[in-house]
Structure 1
Amino acid sequence: MGFAAWRALQAIFDADRHGTSPKAWAIRTGQAISGVIYGGLALWAFELLDEFEDIGEADEEAKANSMAAAAMALPQGDLLVLLAGLVMIGFGVGNIVQGLAQDLGKRLRCSDEFSRWVVPLGKIGYGSRGLAVLPAGLFLIVAGLDAQSSDARSWGGALQAVEQQPYGSWVLGLMAVGLIAFGLFGFVEAAFRGIRPPPEIC
């Protein structure tokens, strides 16, 4: 929830001082979407704590199908599900591009030598995080196009579908290593990231 709140500060108050150019608004929109996704993950985690038990695989898939069915029952519901899938795809692709193109070291207040060691963790991590959400987004797009809520998958179910493909276990293993790298880079950012809030906030 703390990370989701930080994303809100970035998007609403321009905590990173991106400005108001079209590119800046695109970045801040991406930050807002990221905040919504992480807020949803946090609420899901709180729900698990409240129930004092893990949700089984079948229950998790049934919940994903039920949510998709509820969305499709709304006017233009299939388009809403399709849009949700496109948002997830955009989030995933954006993370991959961020890992490949963004200079992650410029926002760290640490030595150049240390930065050279930790920036690859961030690049691998952002790319892996992007790849991890793509399967769920693709299933939502298929569900929206077919107007079949049964095509929707939870995040775990989507990754399980990847595992069932040739070399899928290797793909998931590499993805897991990448997500660990993202977590480690998060600790580095917590310690060394420079934050320059706009003067009106200070």
Structure 2
Amino acid sequence: MTAQEARARAAGNGVSASSAFRALGRAGLAARGVIYILVGALAVQIAFGKSGGKEADRQGALQTVAGTPGGTILLWLLAIGLAGMALWRFSEAVWGQAGPDGDKATKRLNSLGRGIFYAVVCASTVAFIIGAGGPGSSDKKSRDYSGKAMHDIPGGRWLVLLVGLGLVAGGIGIAVSAMKTKFEKKLNTHQMSPAVRKTVKTLGVVGKTTRALVYASAGAFFAYAAIKFDPGKAKGVDGTLRQFAHTPVGPWLLVLIALGLIVFGLYSFCEARWRRV
């Protein structure tokens, strides 16, 4: 590396680690927490038949916020937080993640993918606020995308199957990582008291494992839709959560999953406070 490249890299790292970018990242993590808490709360209402027709996904979460006093202001704060999350992830893609091995190409690509995802989430939130659309039903989008892929793209059925299996594998991987508490490596645990660290660890294990279970289950429905060659079998977050209520234990499994998503929301607030950004 030349001296000029080294200076450019050091300047980039300085920007990435600046207080402004740290604040953006933390705001994004807090916004994620709000969304998951709302989705979990809606899922609890669905379990007891009191959701008022709202779906337990981002669309339902935004509708819930919009219906509260000062809802528009809160929605804009969420959008700003999500924009912060996207910018923080893009900065990681350019300058590397915090911590050891943050310069690895795989980690940069991971940050780029997450940045694109949160940029889309932010854009859909803004569209919802200004009345130009919104996230839309997760179930409808799952059916539409899988149907378009299976019928309009050569080999699309196998593509949907691979996406489904990828979600299942990713969910399992995240759950295993969570149970091994690998997420603690990304936290400033030295700033926590023993009691706080134990609490954060518990929130992380429960919350991350629950979220992984939901996405792995959604992936299983995608794979099943491909196997049956029936896009109607694909489900988004809302439809996947509702399926948990159709088990022998009735709505109580959905309640447990919903509480797990709320726990993940609380853990997101812990990341907003203690994550290395």
Shorter chain as denominator, the TM-score bin is 0.7 to 0.9
- With normalisation by structure 2, the TM-score equals 0.57
Matched residue of 1:159: which SS? helix
- Counterpart residue number, 1:183: 265
| Residue 235 of structure 2 corresponds to residue 157 of structure 1 | no
Contact 1:33 1:91 (8 Å CA) reproduced: no
| Residue 169 of structure 2 corresponds to residue 90 of structure 1 | yes
Deviations 1:39-93 (A, max 9, x none): 55445544543357996xxx66444322211112112111221122123223322
| Number of aligned residue pairs | 190
Match 2:275 to one of 178, 193, 200: 193
Distance 1:40 1:163, change over 3 A: farther
| Residue 111 of structure 2 corresponds to residue 111 of structure 1 | no
| Residue 213 of structure 2 corresponds to residue 135 of structure 1 | no
5+ long unaligned stretches in structure 1: 196-202
Q: Distance in 2 between matches of 1:122 and 1:30?
A: 20
Percent identical residues: 27
Question: Which residue identity does 1:70 align to in structure 2?
Answer: K
Structure index of larger Rg: 2
Question: Which residue identity does 1:74 align to in structure 2?
Answer: I
Question: Which residue identity does 1:110 align to in structure 2?
Answer: Q
Distance 1:40 1:82, change over 3 A: farther
Contact 2:102 2:108 (8 Å CA) reproduced: no
- Counterpart residue number, 1:200: none
5+ long unaligned stretches in structure 2: 1-81
- With normalisation by structure 1, the TM-score equals 0.75
Alignment of 1:1-202 (within 5 A): 1=82, 2-10=84-92, 13-19=95-101, 34-35=114-115, 37-49=117-129, 50-51=131-132, 61-72=139-150, 73-106=152-185, 107-108=187-188, 109-113=190-194, 114-195=196-277
Distance 1:103 1:88, change over 3 A: closer
Shift of 1:97: 1.6
Distance 1:145 1:54, change over 3 A: closer
